[in-house]
Amino acid sequence: MPIYEYVCNDCETRYERLVMSASQKIECPKCSSGSHTLQLSVFSAGKSSNGSASTSASPASGGCACTPSTCGCN
């Protein structure tokens, strides 16, 4: 059940919706218009106490161990 971000084509309100199925009708919460554009979602990594991006993935757990200067995805 992904969360999608939309912008209303009529009133330009930005909103998110949890989509349960492809046939679900999506309406703007402000004007109830069904005319909208799906937006690309932007996500961010959490920051550690030293200001660098934190990650929970590690090579031992099968995750990526990439850093700005090296890549551990071999």
Residue range 1-56, pLDDT digits in tens: 688 999 999 999 999 999 888 899 999 999 999 999 999 876 656 666 665 555 55
Per the model's pLDDT, the better-predicted residue between 72 and 9 turns out to be 9
Which residue type does 64 have?
Answer: C
Give the model's pLDDT for residue 72: 58
pLDDT confidence of residue 46: 64
Residue 57's pLDDT band, with cuts at 50, 70 and 90, is: very low
Residues 6+ apart with CB under 8 A from 48: 54
- Round to whole Å and give the CA distance between 13 and 32: 11
